[in-house]
Amino acid sequence: MPNTKASFSAKDFGDDFLWGVAIAAAQNEGAHDTYGKGPSIWDVYSKKARKIKSGHTPYESCDFYHRYKNDLLLTKALGFSVFRFSISWPRILPDGVGRINKEGIHFYHRVIDECLKLGLVPFVTLYHWDLPAALEKEGGWSAHLMLKWFSRFVTICAEEFGHKVKNWIVLNEPFGFTSLGYMLGKHAPGKIGMRNFLPAIHHAALAQAEGGRILRKLVPQAYIGTTFSCSEVVPFSNNEEDIKAAQRVDILLNRLFIEPTLGYGYPRDDFKFLDKLEMYNKAWKHRERMRFDFDYIGVQNYFPIVVKHNPLIPVVMASDVKATKRNVPHTSMGWEINGDSFYRILKKFSAYRGVKEIIVTENGAAFKDQLVDGEVDDQKRIDYFHGYLAALLRAKNEGMNIKGYFAWTLTDNFEWAEGYHARFGLIHVDFKTQLRTIKNSGYWFRDLLTSR
Ligand code: BGC
């Protein structure tokens, strides 16, 4: 049992503050080739590329598909009132376009109905990185047709679930999936180079806005957001070159997607390289189409980064100085733990004119958890959440319009290229038996949230 009492109470965040947990289809569901589901790019990539640690695959994962009732009960028992999950595109449309898989539709109805029965508010993400493999064959996010494909998928979801689900997230971290998947080749589909990256950025920026418009049209009283990965970028030293390097990285990491969304276009005045983005995509023509008036912005922050000038790295000419080398507290992912930096990120995003409300749609930490005698004593995770939530409360008390906080994540799950090695859950999963054990951090949340 956790013995650290929080220095704040849930009441301090206000009665209408949304407390949630977040999961994602490809990371949790399993059942990857059953009940009519088509393959996703992660199913294909994990099998072929062997780029995932220990050759892990998302095929079974923590089996949310069969255990959703149990997992939703656990969510409720820990005191959360919001459940964020994503809809697997290839479960709804096995070929990405064309034929609808009725079993897939029914599955999400069951999950949504169960949430509603338990009094959990569903927040539905439309795209959390599991593109149908069939569409990747046609170019995936680099293809012009993406807008058409995605619009159809969003329309189906809105028409099917819109009478039950009011809270929507269009994309999960567009910079995450375009950079890791289409430039660095570290995530599915494993592509590299500007030729793939530049069009992928632009199609994601357009799809994000278009998804918002479709939901607005089809779902009465919808509360529509989209999420951005963000990290404070700190120069390694005060020298001019490091400062400039930090500015370039900041543009890519933090500004590239939110600014076109808000109607400012790409932040190219500050980074000439982005002219290419405009030239390549004729993006200036699309300024209005990239804009959508989101009801809220989902901020997802885990760590700050420190960068220095590095002429050997193309384009950004910068590289990060790892937390492990800097001797600062970090998680098992090597990510710096820094609540003050989270506060500054919230401040940066709140300061944008056009951002009406913010929800922290993901935040959390992986540690090397040990299950000993039926207990997972993850004090480090408790300290992490404590520090980050204290920072959020400070931001909120200063008047930033932050409406909610969703912890990443409910159960240990498939952590992309890390496979099952990185455990982010509030609940431990034994991947051999699927046994769930609430970690002390889970009890810590329960104590915090049930004292409301
Ligand atoms: C992603 C999650 C991921 C988490 C931890 C976020 O960038 O949205 O899917 O598991 O970070 O790496």
Largest Cα span, the chain:
62
Going by the DSSP 8-state scheme, the letter that residue 253 receives in this structure is I
Q: How far is the CA of 137 from the centre of ligand 1 (A)?
A: 25
Going by the DSSP 8-state scheme, the letter that residue 59 receives in this structure is S
> What is the model's pLDDT at position 270?
80
User: Atom 12 in ligand 1: which residue has the minimum CA distance?
Assistant: 415
* Cα torsion through 189, 195, 198, 199, rounded to 10: -70
> What is the model's pLDDT at position 5?
77
> What is the model's pLDDT at position 2?
55
- The answer to whether the peptide bond before residue 75 is cis (omega within 30 degrees of 0) is no
Q: How far is the CA of 28 from the centre of ligand 1 (A)?
A: 12
Q: Give dist(CA 432, CA 171) in Å, integer.
A: 32
Using an 8 Å Cβ cutoff, are 214 and 158 in contact? yes
Nearest atom within ligand 1 for CA of residue 413: 10
Q: Which of 128, 230, 408 to mutate to test the pocket of ligand 1 (most atoms within 8 A of CB)?
A: 408
Q: How far is the CA of 130 from the centre of ligand 1 (A)?
A: 13
Using an 8 Å Cβ cutoff, are 214 and 155 in contact? yes
User: Atom 9 in ligand 1: which residue has the minimum CA distance?
Assistant: 24
Nearest atom within ligand 1 for CA of residue 424: 5
Q: Which of 170, 187, 362, 424 to mutate to test the pocket of ligand 1 (most atoms within 8 A of CB)?
A: 362
Nearest atom within ligand 1 for CA of residue 24: 9
Ligand 1 neighbours, Cβ below 6 Å, are 24, 27, 172-173, 176, 229, 300, 362, 408, 415, 424
Q: Which domains does the chain have, with CATH numbers?
A: 10-449 (3.20.20.80)
pLDDT, block means (10 residues), the chain with 452 residues: 78 98 99 98 89 95 98 98 99 98 98 98 99 98 97 99 98 98 97 95 97 98 98 98 97 97 91 84 84 98 98 95 97 98 98 98 98 98 98 98 99 98 98 98 97 72
Using an 8 Å Cβ cutoff, are 126 and 168 in contact? yes
C-beta neighbour count of 139 within 10 angstroms: 17
Q: How far is the CA of 17 from the centre of ligand 1 (A)?
A: 23
Q: How far is the CA of 241 from the centre of ligand 1 (A)?
A: 31
Q: How far is the CA of 283 from the centre of ligand 1 (A)?
A: 28
Q: How far is the CA of 42 from the centre of ligand 1 (A)?
A: 14
Nearest atom within ligand 1 for CA of residue 129: 9
Q: Which helix (H) or strand (E) holds 359?
A: strand 358-362
User: Atom 5 in ligand 1: which residue has the minimum CA distance?
Assistant: 415
Catalytic residues: 173, 362
Cα 410 to Cα 84, 148, 373: the distances in Å are: 10, 33, 21
Tell me the three state secondary structure of residue 39. coil
Nearest atom within ligand 1 for CA of residue 408: 4
User: Atom 10 in ligand 1: which residue has the minimum CA distance?
Assistant: 415
> What is the model's pLDDT at position 346?
98
User: Atom 3 in ligand 1: which residue has the minimum CA distance?
Assistant: 415
> What is the model's pLDDT at position 282?
77
Q: Could you tell me the two tokens for 220?
A: 């009465």
Q: Which residues pair with 429 in a beta bridge?
A: 436
Nearest atom within ligand 1 for CA of residue 176: 7
Q: Could you tell me the two tokens for 110?
A: 């069951």
